Amino acid sequence: MSYILLRIAIYALIAGALYFGVRRIFLDWKGRFREIDKAKRDRDLKERQRPDVIDLKRGEDGVYRRKDDADKQ
């Protein structure tokens, strides 16, 4: 009887270690991906402020054109 309880305790301990280990890895990766996304977004926002970057708007015909329509004459 004590072997069965010992076996159950060992399985529970291993399952708990696996659960918390996988959870920790998942949370670490999730945080890292969040940092990468934030850095990418900050870089994109900073790049948009450059004078040589233009904003494009998709027209009804599916063609991208400048938002201000400055090139239409």
pLDDT in tens, 18-34: 999 999 999 999 999 99
Domain boundaries, position 47: 2-66
Distance CA(12)–CA(20), nearest Å, equals: 12
Q: State the total domains in the chain.
A: 1
On average, the pLDDT of the chain sits at 88
Residue 69 is predicted with a pLDDT of: 57
Whether 72 is in a domain gets the answer: no
- Alpha helix (H) residue ranges in 1-73: 2-48
Confidence label for 70 from pLDDT (cuts 50, 70 and 90): low
Instruction: Map tokens 């009887």 to a residue.
Output: 1
Whether 38 is in a domain gets the answer: yes
Distance CA(9)–CA(66), nearest Å, equals: 67
